[in-house]
Chains A and B, each alone.
Chain A
Amino acid sequence: MTAKLFSPKEWQLTLPLAFFLHLFYIAPLAVLLASSFQQAVGVPGFSLAQYGEFFRDSTNLKVLTDTFLLGLQVTLACLFFGYPVAYVYNRVTGIWKSVMTFLILLPLLTSAVVRTFGWVVILGKQGLINSALQGLGIIPEPVKLLFTHHGVTIAMTQIQLPLMILPIVASLSQIDSRLLAASASLGGGAWRTFWKIVFPLTLPGIISGCLLVFAITVSSFVTPSIIGGGQIMYMPTLIYQQGVVLLNGPFAAAISAILLVMVLAVVVGLSILGQKSRTYIR
């Protein structure tokens, strides 16, 4: 009887969350979008002036492309460093599995602010990297890493890495080991088996990892603002500057909307790729 109560209308189970999201996410988002169409602060009405102003200014466009570039670089770097870790994680057993779980999750266990300050110490002029390279005689002068785009990319990669590794681990763990045995018995070498069997089967995990890393990187504020200093601007720092420092709400809302569109475009693009990858697996 009780089982029947829900079974015909399972979708009702999503109602609490749907209600919650509408109230606290969709509604504020609507307010945000509405205010981005204001002519100026406190002037109601519909106008594309804020968007026009954004795209007219080459500095803003540079911020937009820099943000996209940051997302792309961090995503690729996470994939490059994360995939091998996920692969090894899937192979180890026993105590090493627990150790690796802990190590992979470690970046998520400390706060973003603490991690970021750690990177400030490492990347600084007298920091770990520069003093090591100088001590070894590789570089005569300290390399400028702090307050640069590269510095932000390095720190963000470390911070986002778990978000790439975990989905890949999830899809690696589902690969039927008999497939690998079959490949080997048919004469496939280790690399060929990897590229023909393992890698394609983990594409869904790679794509969800990329989605997470990209979306969170381009919208993160703490790390880019501390490592980037007062100079390197990304979309979130620009939103903060316009909304909080200059009290220019409508323009900040328009920048937020543009950032949202960029993230959505990437999400849609990767989802299509995900669909394609699934047909490829079949």
Chain B
Amino acid sequence: MDHYMKRRTFLGGSFATGLALAGLNACANQSESTVDGSQSGAAQGGRLVAATYQGNWEEAHRKILVPAFKKATGADVTLVPMFAVDQVARLQAAGATNSPFDVAILDPGPLITAPKDVVLQPFPAEVSKNFKDVLPRYQNAGGSGNWGPIIGLQFVGIAYNPKKITTPPTSWADLWKPEYKGRVGITNMSSTLGTGWMVEIAKMHGGSEADLEPAFKAVKELVPNLAAVAPNLGALGTLFQQGEIDIGLHNLSSIALLQSKGVDVDWVIPKEGSYAFGASMHVVKNPANVELAAAYIDAALSTEVQTAMAEAPYYIAPVNKNAPLTGILAEKIATNFDDYEKYIYQDWETISKKRNEWIERFNKEVTV
């Protein structure tokens, strides 16, 4: 009897464990299915594996960039949606000869702190026929080292719900207004958006890219107003959608996309100015096929792709001087490329020196 019972208990337990494992597998598949194909895909000829951001970037790349690349090269593309930090971590973990994808898409924060000579290789600009059309400021995303061009720009301003906030905000300082108690949303410093914002707040209070002390002091005073500190830009957008927050920082293209989906949200440039940062594309270290990787980035720079990416509903600001500025971009950002110069381009080289320390400090000190 006793022996029998134990065995049954064991069987019951194993059954439950099996189920648990199945459940776990299902969770794991969430992230793994995205990289599926990259293992086998990276090595095959005529197939490229390219990382992209989740959300509107993935959609825009699937609809615009991938067909253009196919037309130009005849090769196929597997898109792998992943945050920039995840891309860097995966490239580093995989080692120099076993990269999980061929093209990375990064933004200044992850790019500047990434061990670039380990995970990336220089962009062969000489084989890219569209590279010369890129505005000079954006040809080298990593500053020095020719690691790859910026392929599109984001402009950060104040996003707010016009239904609930009838007087449009005019300054970053407005977020500190007492009437916005429990209604403000920001992101933490892990995101480029959040780090850039802290730099702007520091500058308002006498700090700089090298000195965020004033920003930390100011953000502590913002805590009563904070409804949420999102881990990334996508999550912050969702908070507007769900009415969790009424005012916060965000970039124009994401807000334009939310507007096109009927979300009550509008976007203004604060009087301190809007800071701009680029998404950049990079050939990873030892990709399966360098030519295809370079051709993919070249396609992303082409007038045709840049024009389509700048249109509704994506509004990714172009860096190709032949692409027209129209729609909401012309209305809110720039009517010609000289206007790009009035935006703030932060010194990420300086920011990177202390960024990791700041990320940890922010997570410890800014608690809602």
- Chain A interface residues toward B at CB < 8 A: 59, 105, 108, 111-113, 120-121, 124-127, 146-147, 162-163, 166-167, 169-171, 173-174, 204-205, 208-209, 212, 216, 220, 222, 225-226, 229-231, 233, 241, 243-248, 278, 282
Contacts and interface: CB of A to CB of B under 8 A. Distances in A.
B330 interface: no
Given A171-B12, A205-B12, A108 B19 contact: yes
Contacts of B17: 212
Contact of B30 (A111, A171, A231, A282): A111
Given A174-B12, A205-B13, 20 more contacts: A111-B27, A113-B30, A120-B242, A124-B243, A146-B228, A162-B19, A174-B5, A174-B8, A204-B9, A226-B235, A229-B228, A230-B229, A230-B232, A231-B229, A231-B367, A244-B88, A244-B89, A246-B359, A247-B89, A247-B113
A143 to B, nearest CB: 12
Interface string B86-117: 10110010000000000000000000011100
A212 B228 contact: no
A147, A216, A229, A233: which has the most chain B beta carbons within 10 Å? A229
A230 B27 contact: no
A259 B116 CA distance: 31
A162 B16 CA distance: 9
A205 B244 CA distance: 41
Interface in B346-364: 356, 359-360, 363-364
A163 B16 contact: yes
B12 A241 contact: no
A163 B243 contact: no
Contacts of A121: 242
A33 B232 CA distance: 30
B229 A229 contact: yes
A246 B356 contact: yes
Interface of B: 2, 5-6, 8-9, 11-13, 15-17, 19-20, 22-24, 26-27, 29-30, 85-86, 88-89, 92, 113-115, 187-188, 190, 227-232, 235, 238, 242-244, 356, 359-360, 363-364, 367-368
- The dominant DSSP class at the A interface is helix
25 contacts: A105-B19, A108-B19, A112-B23, A121-B242, A126-B242, A146-B228, A147-B368, A162-B23, A166-B15, A167-B16, A170-B8, A173-B12, A204-B13, A205-B9, A205-B12, A205-B13, A222-B27, A222-B30, A230-B190, A231-B229, A231-B367, A243-B89, A244-B89, A245-B85, A247-B88
The CB with the most chain B CB atoms within 10 A, among A59, A173, A225, A230, is that of A230
A171 B9 contact: yes
A273 to B, nearest CB: 14
A125 B227 contact: yes
Contact of A112 (B15, B30, B238): B30
Contact of A59 (B89, B229, B364): B364
Contacts of A170: 8-9, 11-13, 15-16
Nearest to B2: A282
A247 B92 contact: yes
Contact of A212 (B20, B231, B360, B363): B20
A97 B242 CA distance: 38
Nearest to B11: A170
Nearest to B364: A59
Contact of B231 (A220, A229, A248): A229
Contact of A124 (B6, B16, B20, B244): B244
A263 to B, nearest CB: 14
Contact of A233 (B20, B27, B230, B363): B363
Contacts of A241: 190, 359, 363
Contacts of B114: 247
Contacts of A124: 242-244
A173 B231 CA distance: 45
- 5 tightest A-B contacts by CB? A170-B12, A230-B231, A244-B89, A166-B16, A112-B27
